[in-house]
Structure 1
């Protein structure tokens, strides 16, 4: 007998995560490039993020050269689209001042200031898979990159990584949007709900031991 799925989050009813959703009208759009292996990952955070943000697009794949959706996003946002990824040339966001960066002269960015960003691309996958996705898609090399500062404590308790200062896709996205939009309070509810999301999965796992 097939399991009954929630019509919104598409998870089995007993594992429905809709109670943890937040209703957020993000001004900066989000495009999530999700590795195929993450689609069925019950502990993944993209579903919670996607259904909480008003402006969020998820594209599943590993290479996106032929992705019409991503191509349209590049055309739509042009120089105002960035990739959240710790590349060597990534600009570090500075949470101590709104819409600012560390060690960067914004005037050198000409008309492409970070305050003008209208879309953020997120890579969703393990660090190894995210790196592979980055390397396989040269189109991601030709846009500006941003990175979060170190020292942000992760709330992600149900999935472990050996990578230092690692954050879930949801956390990284929320922190970046909060900084760039200068509205941290807007994303705090989703981060609070994320704690409950973790607790739910932990209790759910315990019930099934």
Structure 2
């Protein structure tokens, strides 16, 4: 009988298996430090533009602190796609957070009658003007600066985003207008554009991730907007396809009937 030898072989096999599993787990967790900064098994470097895309529109994103830890956050990728993209981590925008926004604030305070078409903060609502309409109106002004838009977006859950907008209004309302893409608060569901780009359940039709929303806006604001939108959406679509492999099918939730009496 080779009991001792068999036990050693079994122990060695178990140790080797554990080592291989640990090594595989470590490999999965390794990130692309100089590229997309994502785990190597869901790397998106091959879809990112070789160089960040130049735009006349300057994008400023208020990134909620909780979103920095979220696996589905799209803002880090967006900043790698766009050259003129500034990310501010916080819960509200205020003077001192951004030299660009500070300059707009100072200019507006110095000239209260200055048109505010240049700076737009993106958030759906009954008082928000459609982006396409704003883009048409600003063309009636001769000011060259009006061609270089500043687009402010809020990245967080919808509850957080609403709080962030409200907290930022004392600052933003001095120099910017509220803008939106098409949306319908009476229709439940995901983005009205592409159902295959869903990362999380949205509160009503027309809502979308920050990355998709910025891409759709640049389509309207930039002269080569269709090309820019296409490049950004390609990255987002690849990210969503990776994520779909890890999502479990969601079963419909049954409504509970209230007990009588």
TM-score over 0.5 for the alignment? yes
Larger radius of gyration: 2
In structure 2, distance between residues paired with 1:162 and 1:76: 35
Q: Could you tell me how far 1:114 is from its partner in structure 2?
A: 9.8
Matched with 1:91 is 129
Q: Could you tell me how far 1:6 is from its partner in structure 2?
A: 1.9
The structure with more strand, counted as a fraction of residues: 1
In structure 1, distance between residues paired with 2:124 and 2:146: 19
TM normalised by structure 2 equals 0.65
- Check 1:115–1:178 CA distance in 2 against 1; reply closer, same or farther (3 A cut): farther
Matched with 2:177 is 144
CA RMSD of aligned residues (A): 3.0
Larger mean CA deviation between 151-160 and 41-50 belongs to 151-160
Q: Could you tell me how far 1:91 is from its partner in structure 2?
A: 1.9
CA contact (8 A) 2:31 2:40 kept: yes
CA contact (8 A) 2:124 2:183 kept: no
- Check 1:113–1:144 CA distance in 2 against 1; reply closer, same or farther (3 A cut): farther
Which of 1 and 2 has higher RCO (CA within 8 Å, sep 6+)? 1
1:100 aligns with 2:136: yes
Task: Summarize deviations over 1:80-104 as a string: whole Å, max 9, x none.
Answer: 3221122444221238xx9426xxx
1:59 aligns with 2:94: no
Map 1:60-209; keep pairs closer than 5 Å. 60-65=89-94, 68-70=96-98, 72-77=99-104, 78=107, 79=116, 80-94=118-132, 99-100=135-136, 116-137=147-168, 138-142=170-174, 143-150=176-183, 152-154=192-194, 155-183=196-224, 184-204=226-246
- Secondary structure at 1:25 match in 2: coil
Aligned length: 197
1:21 aligns with 2:48: yes
Matched with 1:4 is 30
Larger mean CA deviation between 23-32 and 51-60 belongs to 23-32
- Secondary structure at 2:171 match in 1: helix
- Secondary structure at 1:20 match in 2: coil
Task: Summarize deviations over 1:60-83 as a string: whole Å, max 9, x none.
Answer: 1103336x332x122344553221
Gaps (5+ residues) in structure 1?
Answer: none
Q: Could you tell me how far 1:111 is from its partner in structure 2?
A: 6.4
